[in-house]
Amino acid sequence: MDISGASAIVTGGASGIGAAVVRRLADRGARVVVADLQDDAGRALAEEVGGVFIHVDVTDTEQITTAVEAAEELAPLRVLVNSAGIGWAQRTVGRDGSFDSAHDLDAYKKVIAINLIGTFDATRLAATAMSRTEPLESGERGAICNIASVAAFDGQIGQAAYSSSKGGIVGMTLPVARDLAAIGVRVNTVAPGLIDTPIYGEGEAAEQFKAKLGESVNFPKRLGRPDELASMVVECLTNSYMNGETVRVDGAIRMPPK
Greatest Cα pair distance in the chain? 63
pTM over 0.75: yes
Distance CA 79, CA 255 (A): 31
Q: What is each CA distance from 22 to 9, 49, 84, 204, 231, in whole angstroms? A: 9, 8, 13, 28, 11
Q: pLDDT tens digit string along 186-222?
A: 999 999 999 998 777 788 888 888 898 899 999 999 9
Q: pLDDT tens digit string along 218-251?
A: 999 999 999 999 999 999 999 999 999 999 999 9
Q: pLDDT tens digit string along 24-59?
A: 999 999 999 999 999 999 999 999 999 999 999 999
**pLDDT above 90: residue 64:** yes
Contacts of 62 (CB under 8 A, 6+ apart): none
Q: pLDDT tens digit string along 112-141?
A: 999 999 999 999 999 999 999 999 999 999
Nearest to 77 by CA among 155, 144, 160: 144
Q: What are phi and psi of 88, to 5 degrees?
A: -165, 140
Residues with a catalytic annotation lie at 162
Residue pair 210/157 in contact (Cβ under 8 Å)? The answer is no
How are strands ordered across the β-sheet holding 246-249? 52-55, 31-36, 7-11, 77-82, 142-147, 185-192, 246-249
Question: Which domains does the chain show, CATH number per domain?
Answer: 7-248 (3.40.50.720)
Q: Once rounded to an integer, what is the mean pLDDT over residues 147-172?
A: 97
